[in-house]
Chains A and B, each alone.
Chain A
Amino acid sequence: MTLIPEFQAHRVFVEPWTTELGSHGLMALVTFLVGATCGLIGNFLILRRMALVGDAISHSVLPGIALAFLITGSRGIGAMVLGAMVAAWLTHGLIELISRHSRLKQDAAIGIAFSTLFAIGVVLIAVFADKVDLDQDCVLNGELPMIPLEPPVRLGGWVLGPPPLLRLVGVLVVSLVLLVTFYKELLITSFDPGLAACLGIRVGAIHHGLMLWLAMVVVASFEAVGAILVIALLILPGATASLLTDRMVPRLAWTTVHAALSAISGMHLSVALDCSPAGATVVAGAGWFCVVWLFSPTEGLIPRAWCLRRGSVDSRLRSPELRQHNESP
């Protein structure tokens, strides 16, 4: 048995788009939806230097689900989502509480809050192992290959797709609506919260709303890619886009492009290596990040090194207005 399966071009590149479209293609669609939804909100997390809050909230999903199961005794999606949302909200509250009412800075508060809640989840599942019929692996790593096997939802004569896919489409649509509706408020509270407060914009409400939105996105995503990989998809698309453009709207567009490229190349990678599609998608996404980091025309390491070697100054210093400004007394 070989460690890496033999490379078969037809199986890797053609079949996912033809005979395997219903399974591999569907999984790629799911990872794209997760990447795009997470990436959109992730941009604001990056701009607010809150990338790790996403990590914290994704981990606190575990105790939330365990508690919801213990209380309601059902494994229905409603109870799970509610439990996870409450836990996410608690994490966020705990982080605020610790960082506001102690000397500790936010990063330390995040470290305390999410590891504590995560540990509570582990303990709960271990203690009530006989009562809690929960697959810990599923929460942590997702069950992407199971999604194509779920019976699809039918509406009239139409086959709409498996329920997790529809949920993700719903969350993406809700995210887009929120983004368009509150774009102005999200932008100003991220850039200059002091001014926003002075203009009468409720900075606190926007912040809490963003956290609730994040909780919803994370909960909808974890069954596809798991609680651990959600953080990668929250940050990677936005981080990659930030190296390609310095404007917000193109940045959101590049985020979506990155999500799509990661999903497709991740699909091919997972077929080639016969590995977890969620993991492969994140690896592919990180690969695209590295490519952009090296080669981005404006921010890339290589184009910048090339400019320096040619002895030319930063392009922005060569623009006529700035040169004029620098030369003025």
Chain B
Amino acid sequence: MSLETGNPANVPPLEIHDLTVAYRNKPVLWGIDLVAPAGKLIGIVGPNGAGKSTLIKACMGLLPCSSGWVTAFGRPVTQSLKRVGYVPQRESVDWDFPVSVMDVVLMGRYGRIGLFKRPSPEDRRIARDCLEQVQMLPFAERQISNLSGGQQQRVFLARALAQESDLYFMDEPFTGVDAATESAIIALLQGLRSRGKTILVVHHDLPTARTYFDWLLLLNMRVVAFGPTEEVFTPDLLQKTYGGRLTILSEVAEAVRGQGTLT
């Protein structure tokens, strides 16, 4: 594969340089610098208000950056949108919207369909295929408000699959879903990774973060640590990320104890 088409071995799927984001002159993210490796499942963890969602929104160009730049596959994200997929938080949309599950998944294809055109039979085939992968095909014609939280999350995931991207940003896909959906989602993400895709996932739950992700980004306004999970998931670094919050600390202690060897 030539460099022009984005050789994953040479061009990092995501590179962030000196990124600073501020809301009303109050910085939320400070000087973020990182280069994400290809073909990894990367968890973004940190306390509330650490700027996890802000980071991925800024990467997608949805928020203005005060300084710094973000590239995907060596080009500004706005120029490589076709290779970048996004799963927003489930609560960010109105689930009473008058569309069916199929319509929502087809929206993932809109970037490829282009102006003035309608979804082709091929787009529908891909959408059905993606629904099948998340076991939601029987619900294709259902209106979206008639779904449980876990089912809504699966629909969002199917929509992201339909984008056929190489780099994915997911904002808390495990929030408010049942255990069956959670394991289905993680299996799906691992499947994507094994096909060479890079996935960044905002995640809330520390104990599962250790088992789910290859790499972890510990974030608290700044990058506290970014690296392979076994190197980064240490009491010191977690304490640095979460500060002195007692409940979190005991959670950390438990998580690390469960890990055994690193203590």
Q: Which residues of A contact B (CB under 8 A)?
A: 47, 181, 184-185, 187-188, 190-192, 194-201, 242, 245-248, 251, 316, 321-322, 325-326, 328-329
Contact = CB atoms under 8 A, between A and B. Distances in A.
Contacts of A181: 116
Nearest to A242: B98
A198 B86 contact: yes
A26 to B, nearest CB: 34
Contacts of B103: 187, 248
Given A184-B110, A191-B99, A194-B92, A246 B143 contact: yes
A257 B255 CA distance: 61
A325 B115 CA distance: 38
A29 to B, nearest CB: 29
6 contacts: A184-B110, A187-B107, A200-B81, A200-B82, A245-B98, A329-B180
A247 B93 CA distance: 16
Interface of B: 57, 60-62, 78, 81-82, 84-86, 88, 92-94, 96-100, 103-104, 107-108, 110-111, 113, 115-116, 118-119, 138-139, 143, 145-146, 148, 150-151, 159, 163, 178-180
A19 B247 CA distance: 82
A329 B179 CA distance: 8
Nearest to B77: A198
B138 A321 contact: yes
A195 B104 CA distance: 11
A194 B94 contact: no
B92 A192 contact: yes
A28 B86 CA distance: 48
Contacts, number: 88
A191 B88 CA distance: 12
Contact of B110 (A194, A201, A247, A326): A201
Given A197-B60, A246-B98, A188 B110 contact: yes
Contacts of B111: 198-201
Contact of B143 (A47, A198, A247): A247
Contacts of A326: 148
A102 to B, nearest CB: 11
B93 A192 contact: yes
Contacts of A322: 146, 148
A185 B148 CA distance: 27
Contact of A251 (B98, B159, B178): B98
A25 to B, nearest CB: 33
Contacts of B143: 246-247
A47 B113 CA distance: 23
Contact of B86 (A187, A194, A325): A194
Contacts of B148: 322, 325-326
Nearest to A196: B110
Contacts of A242: 98
Contacts of B85: 198
A187 B89 CA distance: 19
Contacts of B98: 47, 242, 245-248, 251
Contacts of A199: 81, 107-108, 110-111, 163
A191 B97 contact: yes
Contacts of B97: 47, 190-191
A198 B171 CA distance: 14
Q: Which 10 A-B pairs have the closest CB atoms?
A: A199-B111, A246-B143, A198-B86, A316-B146, A200-B81, A248-B98, A192-B93, A194-B88, A188-B107, A191-B97
Contacts of A187: 99, 103, 107
B61 A197 contact: yes
Nearest to A188: B107
Report which residue of A198, A246, A251, A325 has the largest number of chain B beta carbons within 10 angstroms of its beta carbon.
A198
A321 B179 contact: no
B56 to A, nearest CB: 10
Contacts of A195: 86, 88, 107-108, 159
Contacts of B138: 321
A53 B61 CA distance: 27
Contacts of A247: 98-100, 143
